[in-house]
Structure 1
Amino acid sequence: MKRILLGVSLMSAFVLSGCQTSSAADQDTRSSVVAVTSESQLIEEAANEASSTVQRSTEADQEVPEKQEAYRYRINAATSVVEPIDAESDSKVALLTFDDSPDQHAVEIAEKLKSINAPAIFFVNGMYIESDEGKEKLKQLYDMGFDIGNHTQTHPNLSTISPEEQREEILKTNELIYEVTGEKPHFFRAPHGVTTEMSDTVMAEEGMVSMNWTYGYDWEADYQTSEALTDIMLNTEYLNDGANLLMHDRKWTNEAVLSIAEGLIDKGYTLADPKLIELPEREE
């Protein structure tokens, strides 16, 4: 009987030992499976992330930078009229320009134009931007988004000075403007409308557009009041499509400028944006 009980006990111990061994093996197997599964998940996640990175990189490569608006107009070299480049561009435009800036009133003129989002070119004389005050005025004009043109350093009649002096008159003003704005001017207007062979040469070298005007009146004694100037600027026979309006940094022009700009708009004119005027290539 004792032998039987002993056998049963040994058998039970063997069975229990087997069960424990089996459980340990199962646990190891499950741990291995979990480890393999986790590793697979990590590999899959890494692959997915790599794929996403490649996709984002590809999408970035395919992004096309926003295209700048193409030129719509050009300045007629013979008449200074603002002409559309193609049939899609509105021909009924007028360009506002202000010479002898920034003397006394240019910043106020600019602020008034800015209030109605009216673009313009301010043609600068270098002699006005040699002082800190003049530089600050120029910076204000530029920061408001207006185009800055070159009107020579001291406002001479170019035909009365030497070719070397002509070159200096233009290039010195370009450099002064660049020092303040970080951008060289794209437009040039010769004092008194007198261009020369040398000024044409400098325009070609600097990649600038030379322009005169189609009409202007604010230097004439009869139009040195706000009312008279507004009336003639809006009702002259010279107001036609592509008109290039000459005005100056003057008290009466400052007083009339808003009425002139709004009057042109009321007559159906679009005020031409100088940034849409075609420029020649410039060699930096």
Structure 2
Amino acid sequence: MAVITVFMITSFAEKSPVFSGKNNAISEDQAKNLNNSGNNSIPPPVKPAPEPKPESESSVEPENVTKPDPPDAKPETPTETESQGETESKPVPDPTDKSELENAVIPVKKPDPKPPVPVHPQVQEDRKKFVALTFDDGPDGKYTSAVMDILDEYKVKGTFFVVGQQAIKFPEVIQRMKNEGHSIGNHTFSHVNMPKQSIEEMKEQITKTDEAIKDATGETPTLFRAPYGSANAQVKETVSQMSKTLVPWSVDTRDWAGTSVAGMMGHLKKEISPGGIVLMHSFGGKNGDLNNTLQALPLIIEYLQNNGYTLVTTEVLLAAKG
């Protein structure tokens, strides 16, 4: 009996539009017939469940995927600057963006420092008490060499202002001056009083002496001393135009006048001061006698050294004065 009941229900379900799935709706007549049959246990029609929508690929973002930059994005190129072992990245200004270029900080290379001005080795000593010994009117065949012998004995360098016509006569003495490290200056060609000369004559006096000195030493002097110390404005201008340094003196020993050794020392002690330039001679003198100079020179050197002075050439002294 149970088998027959299952068979009837199955057949009914296959023929019923409600269960067949062919049509979910039933007509009114069909409903009445069902009600009249006395079977009230038929469930109401079941609506099919909606199919699930596939998930959008854009709604789920896979992990560890790099997003592409938007089309209008500007790439940043990092620049590396080393700072105490660490690397710092900074964006480089966009060359197409004028506002970024205007505000960009452009590194400026600092100019190389200027090299120091060379200083004569002796200038590095105590320049406050420099003194220069100078000798005029030579060279000759007697006194000039004797003066250099004394200077060499005391390891002192002097400055010789030579007369051109004497340089022509004694070129070997000029050569010795250079070889022993003494300075050589121009003292005109024939010991003329320069203010009484025309400009052309002054230039000739200087030029001819330069040539005589250069023939003996291969060098043109840059120092000039006017005979008698006589130099007006015109002389100074001419000397400057010829690229010479005019060198006066501050202490006159008056050896040229035949002054005694004691007298010469008296003048020196009275007039000497740091930066002083002492005038003596290596040719000429009263009646051509300069023995007083040879006798006084060792005493002058010893006095100056014992009182803390450093004896240097005129170039070194002028360089120290700046």
TM-score range, shorter chain: 0.5 to 0.7
Q: Which entry has the higher C-alpha Rg, 1 or 2? A: 2
Corresponding residue SS for 1:156 = coil
8 Å CA contact 1:166, 1:198 repeated in 2: no
Q: Which structure carries more relative contact order (alpha carbon 8 Å, separation 6+)? A: 1
Letter of the 1:113 partner, please give it: L
Map Cα deviations across residues 169-217 of structure 1 (whole Å, 9 max, x no partner).
Answer: 1111011101100111121100011124453344334432101111212
The structure with the largest helix share of the pair is: 1
8 Å CA contact 2:183, 2:313 repeated in 1: no
The CA distance in 2 between the partners of 1:218 and 1:72, in whole Å, is 32
The CA distance in 2 between the partners of 1:161 and 1:234, in whole Å, is 32
1:228 and 2:286 equivalent?
Answer: no
Range that drifts further, 238-247 or 212-221: 212-221
Change beyond 3 A, Cα 1:125–1:68:
farther
Corresponding residue SS for 1:95 = strand
TM-score by length of 1: 0.62
1:172 and 2:213 equivalent?
Answer: no
Corresponding residue SS for 1:91 = helix
| Counterpart residue number, 1:185 | 221
1:212 and 2:245 equivalent?
Answer: no
- Identical residues among aligned pairs (%): 30
1:272 and 2:321 equivalent?
Answer: no
Letter of the 2:263 partner, please give it: A
| Counterpart residue number, 2:175 | 139
| Counterpart residue number, 2:128 | 91
Corresponding residue SS for 2:127 = coil
Change beyond 3 A, Cα 1:178–1:256:
same
Of 182, 197, 203 in structure 2, the residue corresponding to residue 161 of structure 1 is 197
Task: Give the number of aligned pairs.
Answer: 195
Corresponding residue SS for 1:113 = helix
1:125 and 2:189 equivalent?
Answer: no
| Structure 1 unaligned blocks of 5 or more | 1-66, 74-83, 280-284
| Counterpart residue number, 2:280 | 247
1:102 and 2:139 equivalent?
Answer: yes
The CA distance in 1 between the partners of 2:225 and 2:120, in whole Å, is 20
| Structure 2 unaligned blocks of 5 or more | 1-115, 283-289
The CA distance in 2 between the partners of 1:187 and 1:106, in whole Å, is 19
The CA distance in 1 between the partners of 2:318 and 2:276, in whole Å, is 16
Aligned CA RMSD, in angstroms, stands at 2.5
Change beyond 3 A, Cα 1:162–1:234:
closer
| Counterpart residue number, 1:44 | none
1:195 and 2:228 equivalent?
Answer: no
8 Å CA contact 2:133, 2:313 repeated in 1: no
8 Å CA contact 2:223, 2:244 repeated in 1: yes
The CA distance in 2 between the partners of 1:191 and 1:147, in whole Å, is 18
| Counterpart residue number, 2:150 | 112
Corresponding residue SS for 1:130 = helix
Corresponding residue SS for 1:97 = strand
8 Å CA contact 2:195, 2:234 repeated in 1: no
Offset, 1:160: 1.3
8 Å CA contact 2:133, 2:311 repeated in 1: yes
Change beyond 3 A, Cα 1:205–1:234:
closer
